Amino acid sequence: MDTDKEKRAIEYLRTFEPQTEPYYLCYSGGKDSDCVRILAALAGVKHEIWHNHTTADAPETVYYVRSIPGIHISYPERTMWQLIVDEMFPPTRQARYCCAKLKERGGRGRVKITGVRWAESKNRRDNAGLVRINGKPKKSAKTAADAGAKFMISPKENGIIMNNDNAETRKVVEMCYRTTSTTINPIVDWTDADVWEFLHHYGCASNPLYQCGRKRIGCIGCPLQSDAGMKRDFQEYPKYRQMYVHAFDRMIAAREAAGRIKPKEIEWTDGEHVMRWWVGDDARQITVDDINAIDALDHN
């Protein structure tokens, strides 16, 4: 186990600890969340562990999350199945409204701890750092510049990123977190091997889905995984597949009630048809661009 990385992560958490309230620790039930949960305890910082129930979590994840001592569970106003009807199209890699409304809610005006790591994806390498401040990017950038802190504008232009823990960075966090979404990512530079060695060292068994061969923990049917991964999900959890199909049926009815125009050659006939498209089995797939073009016809 890399003890230097562990010590640095603990020091980061102590450095940015809010003075007026506990950290808001974002807990998904995955291995990275377990790392930051254990690190926060080792650091002795005040924190609350929060899990956002998505309604599409695997049962194993639901039970595992409930077993965490002191966990706070937040339930959404709208379920995944209701959101699909509200949005009138399925969640996709390009349109992940489910993440924004189910998984990433909560913690506004708090300093959050997350288990985001560069090793997870190129997107996270480009858009994450030790400290991430979202919202009001121009104001946050000015605050950082005035304080003399080193920072970069995120490629998506919705925040600033800092990769150091000097006095200037601490000052920026203190000034910004009340009006923005501020996150501390203490294991941002950890590898998968670092994570597993740390968890094994501290005797954390982790989510049982990892013992079933899963590499990552997420919602059942998450479109961020491959088509093969989505199909595997629905083979293992057929009742969830049925719930998605029923939601797609209601989605089609909602589109028709709203007068959405659908050319016959790409019309979704029923929920099963949408499901086949969604997991890549329909040769005549409808793209997100198709959906946008169809919906634009309503305004012409």
Domain contains 221: no
Mean pLDDT of the chain: 86
Q: Is residue 217 part of a domain?
A: no
Which of the residue ranges 93-102, 160-169, 204-213, 222-231 would you say has the lowest mean pLDDT?
A: 160-169
Which of 209, 239, 262 terminates a domain? The answer is: 209
Residues 24 and 63 in one domain: yes
- Asked if residue 201 and residue 174 are part of one domain, the reply reads yes
* Contact criterion met (CB below 8 Å) for 243 and 282: no
Q: Using a CB cutoff of 8 Å and minimum separation of 24, what contacts does 15-22 make?
A: 15/165, 15/170, 16/111, 16/131, 16/165, 16/170, 16/173, 16/184, 17/43, 17/45, 17/46, 17/111, 18/110, 18/111, 18/177, 21/46, 21/110, 22/46, 22/47, 22/48
- Edge-to-edge order in the sheet of strand 111-113: 72-74, 47-52, 23-26, 111-113, 181-184, 131-134, 159-162, 152-153
Section 275-296 average pLDDT = 67
Report whether pLDDT(93) > 80.
yes
Does residue 121 lie in a domain region?
yes
Q: Quick check: 131 and 100 in contact, CB under 8 A?
A: no
Number of domains comprising the chain:
2
Decide if 189 is inside a domain: yes
pLDDT at 63 over 90: yes
Q: Does some domain include residue 214?
A: no
> Token pair for residue 142?
């000015």
- CATH code of the domain in which 141 resides: 3.40.50.620
Whole-angstrom distance, CA of residue 271 vs CA of residue 259:
18
Q: Tokens standing for 15?
A: 């450095």
More confident residue, 144 or 123: 144
Q: Please report the pLDDT score of residue 172 as a whole number.
A: 75
DSSP string, 84-128: HHHHTS---SS--HHIIIIIS---TTSEEE----GGG-HHHHHH-
In the block, tokens 């049926």 appear at: 249
For residue 192, being part of any structural domain is answered with yes
- What does the pLDDT look like over 131-173, one tens digit per residue? 888 877 788 888 888 888 888 887 665 788 888 888 878 777 7
Report the C-alpha gap between 183 and 53 in whole angstroms.
20
pLDDT of residue 135: 73
Who has greater pLDDT, 116 or 293? 116
CA distance 283 to 292: 20
> Which helix (H) or strand (E) element contains residue 142?
helix 137-147
pLDDT of residue 56: 96
**Partners of 48 in beta bridges:** 24
Residue 188 lies in a domain: yes
Q: How many CA atoms lie within 13 A of 285 on its CB side?
A: 15
Q: What is the pLDDT of residue 293?
A: 55
Predicted structure pTM score: 0.85
What's the confidence (pLDDT) of residue 299? 47
- The residue segments making up the domain with residue 233 are 227-297
**Claim to verify: residue 190 and residue 56 sit in the same structural domain:** yes
| pLDDT exceeds cutoff 90 at 57 | yes
SS (H, E, C) 208-276: HHHHCCCCCCCECCCCCCCHHHHHHHHHHCHHHHHHHHHHHHHHHHHHHHCCCCCCHHHCCCCHHHHHH
Residues 129 and 237 in one domain: no
Cβ neighbors of 235 (< 8 A, separation 6 or more) are: none
Distance of CA 276 to the CA centre of its chain: 25
Instruction: Report the C-alpha gap between 299 and 293 in whole angstroms.
Output: 10
Averaged pLDDT, 289-293? 59
**3-class state of residue 33 by DSSP:** helix
Tokens of 36: 């930051």
The mean per-residue pLDDT over the stretch 61-85 comes to: 96
Domain match, 192 and 293 both: no
